[in-house]
Copies of this chain bind each other. A is one copy, B any other.
């Protein structure tokens, strides 16, 4: 197993703690950092193994990586203009926990998004 390249983690942080491998790679390129796509993938995987980052899936199936320590939040997205608001999810956290316990699930995570039409649209 390989150790994570620290520049990958630092870039993921800078990306807002939420990005796909391809996005991390492109971001590093744009910033003039010399790194291979393979190393980005390997580093992210290693960070996942070490439970330093979380991985989940976009709707299109692409894996996105998220800093675990980062404040966990959810999104309110406008279907028309794409505008996004980050929102608090305390109610969801509780709901997920209760439901999981009730059905004997462990190591649970969750996804939750709200989408609609914003006031400007």
Contact = CB atoms under 8 A, between A and B. Distances in A.
Nearest to A78: B105
- Range of interface residues on chain A? 20 to 34
Given A61-B63, A111-B111, A111-B112, A105 B117 contact: yes
Copies of this chain present: 2
B95 A118 contact: no
A109 to B, nearest CB: 6
A63 B105 CA distance: 22
Contacts of A68: none
Interface stretch (A7-15, A23-31, A36-44, A85-93): A85-93
Contact of A85 (B76, B95, B103, B107): B103
B89 A76 contact: no
Given A61-B61, A61-B63, A100-B76, A114 B109 contact: yes
